[in-house]
Structure 1
């Protein structure tokens, strides 16, 4: 019996030694891994900060310095803008700094670009100018010019009396950022994510995540981000977090860009040696604690399938690829050749600019997607839905006369008014106005749309959330 008790105590002592050894091994291994990760993080931050300074802060400094020059102020403060002088200055600056420059005049309400183009600053058509004009800050960073997306820095210009004269700004093509980021990625092996305060990805070393046609990818749409704990996602504190992307481990470093109110996330791949150390440590622990390993496998697989189901829901985003205004002409010609009669319905979201200013661009885009999805679900097989402008849709409806088109538009108007807002703002009120026209003989599409637009403007004048029809005499 005494020998049995001694053997029993020996087993207990051996078990205690094994547990202490495991705990010590865990502590030493974690300390080593953390030290290696910290060293790798510090090594990766230095070139990353150099890139940020060269590609973002330097253009910001250039735009601020040039924006305070008397030359720019004089151009914007003149009673009548000397367009030749404006283009001459912009083209000279572009040649000197290899950047895209522009001036937006408050007096003339015209934007002048270094490439020689200009555009009228009309409220409702050019939203950025009026949106940023009312902001308290004197400089704004944004993405725009969607036919060739650019990163812009907009600087407010004032005269000596504090009167607002307009904007002076710098732009860089997103394509140039992709090339620069690719070079850094090949050299140092890490990825960049530049994220604004709403979680939208403004710049990235992954071209697939770059903004396109005013659509921004949000952090919540990324699989690895969606797998993080909810508390981490809400606080968006990713510094020193370890994530898995396409079966590779990455360590995240976080840098604040207060000048733009952005956060830069640097995703550094762990070195092969670190991975080998981690795998050896895991194998040794699993060998000693088979039960814990089995429990770990069970929990891991449960979390994996649970995470996969959640990610499948998170990454699905309601988007509707509709033909643009330029392509609708060919659809119209095809329908006229087949049916000899077509009704045209123009749909314009009411107070869309106010909605965007109140809730932000993401909510406004969500409203557009929701309305597009609703309209798509109400059409017949022969109908064609397309985009007419930033917040307008066009419906080509053959086989039916004008009065049927009018009643159909009334149904759509009521249906849109009953829609709830996007998930982030379900209480946002959505309404739309409609303009209807019709032709039963071959006519240019522009002739019918002019009447439909007149009817739409009449609906707007009469109070919005209405349907009006104007037929060709």
Structure 2
């Protein structure tokens, strides 16, 4: 193993020297001022992502969590009673509005009536209320839309079903466009970016430019914008605008394209560039492409050398990587061994909060890196006798033998605090990781699915309580 480490370090040093030399030559002609400007532009991307998560994904996740509540489903299932208890519905909606600072509504399929948290009701008549019948027939269970034109709002509409899969209507949340424009304007003053959100028909749904906001369901289309029609015909056809340079109000702008899969929308960030930056950027891109080809070829050579050395020098003590953590089957086998040894056992199931949103927003590479860091953290914090495994794509499980429920709860709390210290990927330093924990325990021999079911229920309660908490559910004994 020492030979391998020596070879590994030597090659890495050689690789670093080559890379530093090439990069130094490429950057020699770039002035310090331009470098600082470019760095500031990169740093401003993180607040842009934070803004999207806070203003759009957060309401979506709140609505998704609330839509699964039994209170809401029972309230909307009026098959027996014939109509919704409007006073009860209004009280619930007003409570949610006060708690979350957004408007909420229920649209009943059986009663064909919409109840809003401001106390108003709307009869859902086909031909008069278009959104309901449009999205009812849509295959998507979550849609984003613009409406309430007298005070234009951004809405997230979620389909609600009963336990038999019968469509009950919509539950939704809305935010005034006035708040979006205020936030966009503050961001533009600080960072200089313009925002344009378009749907799959290229209609502009939200924008930092008030003149592009829809009025009374009259949406402006991306293809109508002056800068868009100046692009090459093939680029317009493919809608591949990422890293395109366009002229807006007489200034060069660089476009960054972000796909918002949850809404079936696309976000375009337009960053202004002065003439000098634009010229240097074009030349720099060509230099970087050549540089990357050289570095990639060198990396392949180094990787293959290390691969053949690693095959012959693997140690039994090598820690699991995320892909090699024990899977469900291996965890169940270890659980059964503990049961055969008649050992008391606590189980902790862990879910990375908002991991799906992080994956969709930042890409799978960032998601994979977070999983790696999260796994390294867990395996470094548990005791030698504990077992850490993968429970699902974003869930982990820990078996804690000879551990009581309260001790397991304290261990989970310590892990929860530790998760917040995990360093995010270098490219997204503003990412803040949290996790939710569900704890259960058995002192006698029981099937694993009985114990994990209670841990799952505890985890679900943690999610309903707002994430980043520990909940425990013990098995009831007769």
- TM (norm. structure 1) is 0.51
Find the counterpart in structure 1 of residue 291 from structure 2.
none
> Residue 172 of structure 1 corresponds to which residue in structure 2?
175
Q: Note if 1:217 corresponds to 2:212.
A: no
Q: Displacement of 1:43 after TM fit?
A: 2.3
Counterpart of 1:76 in structure 2 is 76
Whether contact under 8 Å (1:209, 1:217) holds in the other structure is yes
Q: Distance in 1 between matches of 2:270 and 2:217?
A: 25
2:249 is matched with: 246
> Aligned-pair distance for 1:271?
5.4
Conservation of the 8 A alpha-carbon contact between 1:193 and 1:265: yes
Is the 8 Å Cα contact of residues 207 and 213 (structure 2) preserved in structure 1?
A: yes
The answer to whether the 8 Å contact 1:157/1:165 transfers is yes
Note closer, same or farther for the CA distance 1:77–1:242 as it changes in structure 2 (3 Å cut): same
Contact persistence 1:110–1:120 (CA under 8 A)? yes
1:270 aligned to 2:266? no
1:65 and 2:68 correspond: no
Distance 2:72 2:85 in 1: 12
| Alignment partner of 1:118 is 2:131 | no
What's 1:189 paired with? 192
Q: Deviations over 1:333-379 (max 9, x none)?
A: xxxxxxxxxxxxxxxxxxxxxxxxxxxxxxxxxxxxxxxxxxxxxxx
**Aligned length, in residue pairs:** 257
Displacement after TM superposition at 1:275 (Å): 6.1
The correspondence for 1:144, drawn from 122, 128, 147, is 147
Check 1:155–1:178 CA distance in 2 against 1; reply closer, same or farther (3 A cut): same
Relative to structure 1, the CA distance from residue 54 to residue 124 in structure 2 (aligned partners, 3 Å threshold; closer, same or farther) is: same
Shift of 1:273: 6.2
Runs of 5+ consecutive residues of structure 1 not aligned to the other structure: 1-24, 282-473
Structure 1 residues 301-340: aligned runs within 5 Å: none
**1:118-177 C-alpha deviation (Å, 9 max, x unpaired):** 011111111111111111111111111112211110000011111111100001111111
> 2:194 touches 2:270 (CA, 8 Å); kept in 1?
yes
Q: For the Cα contact (< 8 Å) 2:34–2:277, is it kept in 1?
A: no
Find the counterpart in structure 2 of residue 86 from structure 1.
Answer: 89
Instruction: Label 1:34 to 1:28 Cα distance change in 2 as closer, same or farther (>3 A).
Output: same
Whether the 8 Å CA contact 1:37–1:270 is kept in 2: the answer is no
- Structure 2, unaligned runs of 5 or more: 1-24, 285-478
**1:260 equivalenced with 2:263 (yes/no):** yes
Note closer, same or farther for the CA distance 1:172–1:149 as it changes in structure 2 (3 Å cut). Answer: same
Residue pair 2:252, 2:275 contacting (<8 A) in 1 also: no
TM-score by length of 2: 0.50
Cα RMSD (Å): 3.1
SS, match of residue 265 in structure 1 = strand
Instruction: Check whether the contact 1:44–1:268 (CA below 8 A) recurs between aligned residues.
Output: no
Task: Label 1:210 to 1:129 Cα distance change in 2 as closer, same or farther (>3 A).
Answer: same
Change (3 A) 1:275 1:166: closer
Structure number with greater Rg is 1
Q: Secondary structure at the match of 1:92?
A: helix
What does residue range 94-133 of structure 1 map to in structure 2 within 5 Å? 94-133=97-136
